[in-house]
Amino acid sequence: MSFQGYNRLTVLLSTKLVTKELHIIQENYLRTLDRIAAAAKASGRSPEMIRLVVISKAQSVEVIKIAIQAGIKLFGENYPEEAVEKMETLGFPVDLEWHMVGHVQSRKVDLVAKHFQLLHSLDSLKLARRLDRSCGQEGKKLPVLLEFNIGGEASKNGWLANQEKKWPDLLDELVNLRDMPNLSVKGLMCMPPPADLAEISRSYFIKTRKLQDFLRTQLPDLQWTELSMGTSADYDIAVEEGATLIRVGTAILGTRTN
Ligand SMILES: *Cc1c(COP(=O)(O)O)cnc(C)c1O
């Protein structure tokens, strides 16, 4: 079966020099793709609807090079400066795609506008305005996802969305996104509170999906198709609950080193 442009055989055959590290990352990658496909099938979804973003934050360029050898082309990073340094060291390969998944500080907005293909973590109107301006100067329209704080944690960024009855209050702000010509809203992102059991994340994923339905009916002229949810700990459950983008780091690249 072909998935994200690959199948196990072509990936294995395209690999010439198999080091231990490459072998491990490749096996992790293929196992993750297999599990995504299985979770999609089990819930009646097509695996082609789901993209795997490999989170390479705090991983060295050496690890990323091995990941590229393993067939990985889509990376997610948390810190714009760290990410752009890595891109530079790699020589800005044109066949790679980079997503920003972490909180973006105002002074890093230009880096995001210039070097990333999707921002998962748009978390305030202020950031949206700055980014819109920067993308305008860059002559670029940036696809963005809105980050929602679905667990109501004080430590988390994103629009507070833990109480369903307060969702209508979000609209006053979100409606302004329609007037930002250089941003293209594509959907939602969430990061549930840390939990010992992956199953605990399920209710947060379901809630995010419900919020997606709400936004679809309330702000129909924006696009709400993408759902970025699920990490190493709980991505199969996220797929079962409708994720279209999943963000997996350690389960593929191993423990973060930097
Ligand atoms: C680090 C991170 C991930 C990946 O987490 P893992 O546990 O390594 O899979 C996903 N999303 C965001 C926003 C992150 O910061």
Nearest CA to ligand 1 atom 10: 247
pLDDT in tens, the chain (258 residues): 456 655 666 666 565 556 889 999 999 999 999 999 999 999 999 999 999 999 999 999 999 999 999 999 999 999 999 999 999 999 999 999 999 999 999 999 999 999 999 999 999 999 999 999 999 999 999 999 999 999 999 999 999 999 999 999 999 999 999 999 999 999 999 999 999 999 999 999 999 999 999 999 999 999 999 999 999 999 999 999 999 999 999 999 999 875
Nearest CA to ligand 1 atom 7: 232
Q: Among 75, 101, 147, 150, which residue has the most ligand 1 atoms within 8 Å of its CB, making it the best to mutate?
A: 101
Predicted local confidence at residue 152, as pLDDT: 96
Nearest CA to ligand 1 atom 12: 101
Closest ligand 1 atom to the C-alpha of 189? Answer: 13
Distance 147 CA to ligand 1 centre (A): 14
In a 3-state reduction of DSSP, which class is residue 122? Answer: strand
Closest ligand 1 atom to the C-alpha of 250? Answer: 8
Nearest CA to ligand 1 atom 11: 247
Q: How far apart are CA 70 and CA 62, in angstroms?
A: 13
Distance 85 CA to ligand 1 centre (A): 20
What is the CB < 6 Å shell around ligand 1? Answer: 55, 57, 78, 101-102, 191, 231-233, 247-251
Closest ligand 1 atom to the C-alpha of 248? Answer: 9
Please tell me whether the overall predicted TM-score, pTM, comes out greater than 0.85 for this model: yes
Distance 57 CA to ligand 1 centre (A): 8
Predicted local confidence at residue 3, as pLDDT: 62
Nearest CA-CA partner of 191 in 252, 127, 120: 120
Q: Are 50 and 74 in contact (CB under 8 A)?
A: no
In a 3-state reduction of DSSP, which class is residue 49? Answer: helix
Q: How far apart are CA 134 and CA 143, in angstroms?
A: 13
Q: Are 107 and 99 in contact (CB under 8 A)?
A: no
Predicted local confidence at residue 19, as pLDDT: 86
Closest ligand 1 atom to the C-alpha of 55? Answer: 4
Map out the domains of the chain with their CATH numbers.
3-253 (3.20.20.10)
Predicted local confidence at residue 18, as pLDDT: 67
Measured CA distances, 109 to 91, 103, 115, 161, 215 (Å): 21, 10, 10, 25, 26
Predicted local confidence at residue 257, as pLDDT: 78
